[in-house]
Amino acid sequence: MVAISPLPHRAVVEHMVRQSVYQRLGKPLPRPAAAPNPLVVNLSSRHCHLTQESVEVLFGKGHQLTVHKWLYQEGQFAAKETLTLIGPRSRVISNLRILGPCRSLNQVELAYTDGIALGFELPLRSSGNIKGTLGCMLMGPAGFFEMTEGVIRALRHVHMSPEDTAFYGVKGGDEMALKIGGPCALKLDKLLVRVDKSFKLEVHIDTDEGNACNLQADTPCELI
């Protein structure tokens, strides 16, 4: 797997600049700048996670996902491979991106807009909690794979390390809010806190949420 490591996210650079400017001026840091880590807000387009077995059914025996683009979370990537999804009413979504590396379960994450296009109501679930949800058919170049369950709208969430939860005074499973500025400003409530030692501070919202506020690289965001 050869892929160029991405440039630092704009929010990361801004955080560094802000911290050093305040330091130079000898002024106390305002709260967002005092946070141990920069706040990165990324938009998750529709995508799926697959097991290695499903990848082999869809792309051929022994096939390994290849890196298209590294994501902000360490080791996570958007794969070059995409799929065609066939929904329960035979409607289709093409070019569904696979995120790697492979996981222990198959899961498709769509926006409500996609659910409307496919003609069924998506359940709102936290990632991994797919019991009792509808499935779909996936089509790859080497074959079809039937997912019996796992098509969801993922709950908006924030990835945090224990260092971040200590700063914000929250714990895994809590709900926070995200204020997004700009001309279509809004505040997203019920942002699920997910904690892991390996996590970098990052909020994931979907395309409906991102389009509702027209999230751009320079849109100001604040975690509360």
Would you tell me which residues interact with its own copies (CB under 8 A)?
111-113, 116, 124, 156, 183-190, 206-209, 211-214
The nearer residue to its own copies, 99 or 215, going by C-beta atoms, is 215
Helix (H, G, I), strand (E, B) or coil at 132: coil
Q: Map tokens 């904690």 to a residue.
A: 195
The nearer residue to its own copies, 19 or 211, going by C-beta atoms, is 211
- Quote the least distance from Cβ 55 to its own copies, whole Å: 28
Among candidate residues 81, 82, 106, the one with its CA nearest the CA of residue 1: 81
Q: Map tokens 């895994």 to a residue.
A: 172
Residues 6+ apart with CB under 8 A from 143: 57, 58
The pair of structure tokens assigned to 176 is 């926070």
The nearer residue to its own copies, 196 or 218, going by C-beta atoms, is 218
Residues 6+ apart with CB under 8 A from 211: none
The number of C-alpha atoms within 13 Å of 151 and in the hemisphere containing its C-beta is 24
The nearer residue to its own copies, 39 or 58, going by C-beta atoms, is 39
- Quote the least distance from Cβ 178 to its own copies, whole Å: 9
- Quote the least distance from Cβ 63 to its own copies, whole Å: 31
Task: Please say whether the dihedral angle defined by the alpha carbons of residues 87, 90, 95 and 100, taken in this order, is positive or negative.
Answer: positive
Percentages helix, strand, coil for the chain (3-state, rounded to 5) are 20, 35, 45
The nearer residue to its own copies, 37 or 207, going by C-beta atoms, is 207
- Quote the least distance from Cβ 210 to its own copies, whole Å: 8
- Quote the least distance from Cβ 130 to its own copies, whole Å: 16
